Amino acid sequence: MKLSSIYKSLFIVAALLCSSFALSQSSEQKALELKRARIQKEIQEINRLLLSEKKEKGNVIEQVEALDKKINMRQQLIRVTNQQSNLLNRQINANIRSVAKLREDLKLLKEDYANLILRSYQNKTQNNRLMFLLSSDGFFEAYKRFQYMKQYAAHRKSQGEKIALKTDEILKLNIDLTAQRKAKDVLISENTQVKNTLYREISAQKDLLRSIRQNETKYTAAIAEKEKEARRIDREIERLIRSAIASSNKRAGSTSANTFVLTPEAKMVADNFSSNKGNLIWPVEKGIKSQGFGVYADKVYPGIKHQNNGVTIATDKGEKARAIFEGEVMNVITNRLGRRGVLVRHGNYISMYYNLSNVFVKKGDRVTTKEVLGDIYTNRLDGSTKLKFYLYRDTSKLNPEEWIYQL
């Protein structure tokens, strides 16, 4: 293989590697930008749904929880922005190395081209070219000399084109470098602003915590009432599920009180429900998760642990609860304050929508995915509108965050 062919192959391989690296960097940057935009949107939703001015005189516990959530989101935003900045640094460094390499290549090309021009000038006259041909020993040698002259002219043209191409590449890389440096400066500036906002929010949270600790009796009473209501809801849901299992299984000739005996139709619904794990729709058209599933530490006294058997979703006033999947209304419940809940059965899965002011369905109704079940209650004290959503398989509690898409 000729040396020029080897160089050409190496150049192609290097170009492909650079192209692959650039595509990888671009893809990673886009993914980080999408993640950053999602976090920023969630922070805006926290401000709008959980920390708006109309709630300033509301439940101070809820304010602490909302601030804690927003602080966590700010910290995530800072981490993602740092990742973007580091990625831009790598891109800038890669571009600087590319510019240096291109400049070195351009220098060699120009030197080579200068030598070509010099030799061409020395042999520029028509007489010189003609004498070069006529001095051949025969026709075959004259033909070879003529071919050489054509190749020499083509090589000269090729060198000129390469110089123009390399010059354009350097100009483009310099433009990219300028844009990348500007983008990095913007990210650094935004990160500084986010950090300053984070410090203010941490300070506001500390002030709230101090005010709560000064009224510890009132706080503990509010927490106790909250947990008492949660336990009452859990007991009522469990009772209703066991009652539904017993009633359904009795018709099927079974005495089991823990799991549904499924008809072929119910099994098909359950299988479809299960196959959609992670992709089920939200039980509200829009909103944010204000409290996740499972055990979590108290915001004021971290040594105290709380249990949430579902998820709490904050949304706008006037929003509706909607069925996450097709099924049958298993029951409708009402608490002592008039807050209502709807249980929908999907084979041996049950979804529960609680804290409704009005319900539009009744026991035994067939519902479809996205069908409206009722109005979500809006607290007149603090203006918050929150849906408590639960998910079960038979009598076992499930984490809705694993089933609902991006919950």
Cα(255)–Cα(244) distance, integer angstroms: 12
Burial (CB < 10 A; 0-12, 13-18, 19+), residue 299, is buried
Instruction: Output the furthest CA–CA distance in the chain (Å, rounded).
Output: 117
- Report domain extents, the chain: 3-214, 236-402
Strand partners, 51: none
The dihedrals phi and psi of 282, each to the nearest 5 degrees, come to -70, 150
For 137-194, the DSSP string reads SSHHHHHHHHHHHHHHHHHHHHHHHHHHHHHHHHHHHHHHHHHHHHHHHHHHHHHHHH
Residue 276, φ and ψ in degrees, nearest 5: -95, 15
Question: What is the per-residue pLDDT across 307-330, written as a single tens digit (0 to 9) for each?
Answer: 889 999 999 899 999 999 999 999
> What is the total residue count of the chain?
407
3-state secondary structure of 402: helix
What is the predicted pLDDT for the residue at 35?
Answer: 76
Higher-pLDDT residue of 9 and 402 is 402
What does the pLDDT read at residue 127?
A: 46
Cα(86)–Cα(93) distance, integer angstroms: 11
Q: Stretch 291-319: mean pLDDT, rounded?
A: 84
| Helices and strands, counts by H and E, the chain | 6, 12
Rounded to 5°, angle at Cα 155 from 153 and 159? 120
Q: Which superfamily is assigned to 236-402 in CATH?
A: Glucose Permease (Domain IIA) (2.70.70.10)
Q: List, as one string, the DSSP characters of 276-302.
A: TTTTBPPSSSS-EEEE-SEEEE-SS-T
Structure token pair of residue 258: 């823990």
Distance separating alpha carbons of residues 372 and 329, to the nearest angstrom: 12
79 pLDDT tier (thresholds 50, 70, 90): confident
User: Residue 397: in which H helix or E strand, if any?
Assistant: strand 396-398
Residue 133 has pLDDT above 80, yes or no: no
DSSP-based three-state secondary structure for 260? coil
Residue with more model confidence, 278 or 108: 278
How does pLDDT run across 224-253, given as a tens digit for each residue?
A: 777 787 888 888 888 888 888 888 888 877
pLDDT at 219 over 60: yes
Q: Give per-residue pLDDT as tens, 254-273.
A: 877 788 999 899 999 999 99
Q: Per residue, what are the HEC states of 180-199?
A: HHHHHHHHHHHHHHHHHHHH
pLDDT at 354 over 60: yes
**Radius of gyration from C-alpha coordinates of the chain:** 36
Average pLDDT over residues 284-311: 84
The winner for highest mean pLDDT among 90-94, 106-110, 248-252, 353-357 is 353-357
3-214 fold: Helix Hairpins (1.10.287)
For 353, the token pair is 């929508």
Burial class (CB in 10 A: 0-12, 13-18, 19+), 212: buried
Instruction: Give pLDDT, residue 115.
Output: 67
Q: Which phi and psi angles does 394 have, rounded to 5°? A: 55, -120
pLDDT at 1 over 50: no
pLDDT digits (tens, 9 = 90+) for 176-202: 777 777 777 777 888 788 788 777 777
Residue 347 zone, left/alpha/beta (φ > 0; ψ -120 to 50; rest):
left
